[in-house]
Amino acid sequence: MLVGEQPGDKEDLAGKPFVGPAGRVLDRALADAGIEREATFVTNAVKHFKHEMRGKRRLHKRPNNDEIERCKIWLDEERRLVGPEVIIALGVTAARALTGKTVTIAKLRGKPLDLADATRLFITVHPSALLRIEDDDDKRAAYQQFVADLKAAAKSLR
């Protein structure tokens, strides 16, 4: 199970998670990690697209803790229905929704956590963070680390 932050503009319009630019990064990274996207359940911690208008553009705004908590009932129900062995939290909002506390990705990345129901949780960056890196070498290194995070989560299933 992969849990992102919230729908983006493209996802809100399509009604599906990770179909925009971050979704393309995720799809490529999953393929590079040897994970079939069809074999995963992909969702978001917050179910609505929080945004502000800038001219005609809808720009993403990070959900606050109250919004994360209000949407938790839906995430918990998805977890109950899917019953994943492993969850990958993509970004701090997803990690907050799954752990119930504010976390730092740098401190927890690469370290599997066991949730109360024995589900193993891996925390990594959100693919949209990779899109914002301007330096090509830094972007390549960050992408390779992201793929390594996905591989580690997949390996824990075997």
pLDDT in tens, 121-148: 999 999 999 999 999 999 999 999 999 9
Q: Are 125 and 150 in contact (CB under 8 A)?
A: no
Q: What pTM did the predictor assign?
A: 0.93
Architecture of the domain made up of 2-155:
3-Layer(aba) Sandwich (3.40)
DSSP code, position 100: S
Q: Give me the amino acid identity at 60.
A: H
Instruction: Examine the pLDDT at 34 and tell me if it is beyond 90.
Output: yes
Instruction: Examine the pLDDT at 56 and tell me if it is beyond 90.
Output: no
Residue range 96-103: mean pLDDT, rounded: 95
Q: Distance between CA 86 and CA 153 in Å, rounded?
A: 7
Q: Distance between CA 99 and CA 90 in Å, rounded?
A: 13
How confident is the model at residue 12, as a pLDDT? 85
How large a percentage of the chain has pLDDT more than 70? Answer: 97
Q: Give me the amino acid identity at 83.
A: G
Q: Distance between CA 3 and CA 95 in Å, rounded?
A: 8
